[in-house]
Amino acid sequence: MSSNTAPIGVIDSGIGGLSVLQSLLTALPHEHFVYLADNGHAPYGEKTDLFVRQRTHAIAQHLIDRHHIKALVVACNTATAAAIHELRARHPQLVLVGVEPALKPATQRTRTRRVGVMATKGTVASDKFQRLLASLDPATHFEVKACNGLALAIEQSTLPAQADAAQAEISRLLKQYVSELGAFGTHSGEIDTLVLGCTHYVFAQDQLQQLVGPEVQLISTGDPVARQTQRLLETTGLLNPHAAVARAHGRVNLYTTGDLAGLKAAAHRWLQLPASDCHLATNI
């Protein structure tokens, strides 16, 4: 396989990164993708920084050695905050794209100058997030909430045996965290923009929209990450050359270090991908 036709790796602590993969498939339909969900160690957002760095490096190395990826999308805010700088130093030959909460776009779109941010504990506590927050226009006020347990509940909602209980927990947590963030709306003093600072939360956005109201904007990172990936592949000459002549879509393979049934359910539910695209990843 030439470097141009090599796959793009996409990694996350679990199924949350499927929301980013969804945007990548739309923007780059002729590319090949290998998605690896570290469900066996999820969620990252409540793990130590050292643990997240070690797992991120191990998974990245696995995709390089086993699948010969040409690019890596770290589709996890926590892993990006903890490890992206080290990944760039270790793998300078690799096109690397991370994710971060969309605070900058939120400052451009808010009218009330009040923005809510839902993210994991690991993301909120990271130096990277704090530097990003400090770099923004002080005229915009950010209400930041570390949403412990929410990513895990969304993970568990894909498992048939736990789906009902997990969905009830998702509803409970969403109500709690939305209430704690404050008043939502378009009037002065109200939060009119909500940043989904974890890729998992995209899969709860319909429920979130109902809670905060239809006039509140929800902002996630999938589409900007897909555009950045496409830009970097074009700049480095690594776009799949067949994209110009072929109409067939690229291949997608999904792997998990955890429960295969959960990945199959999530892939079918949110990406309409068949169970045959999903596999177990071992010895990582």
Catalytic site residues?
76, 198
Residue type, 127: D
- CB distance 112 to 191 below 8 Å: yes
Place of tokens 């736990």: 162
* Half-sphere exposure for 39 (CA within 13 Å, toward CB): 31
Strand segments, DSSP code E, in the chain are 8-12, 33-37, 71-74, 95-98, 114-119, 141-146, 193-196, 217-219, 252-256, 278-280
Q: Do residues 108 and 81 make contact, with C-beta atoms less than 8 angstroms apart?
A: no
User: How far is 203 from 269, CA to CA, in rounded Å?
Assistant: 10
Question: What burial letters (b/e) apply to 74-109, b meaning 16+ CB within 10 Å?
Answer: bbbbbbbbbbbeebeeebeebbbbbbbbbbbbbbee
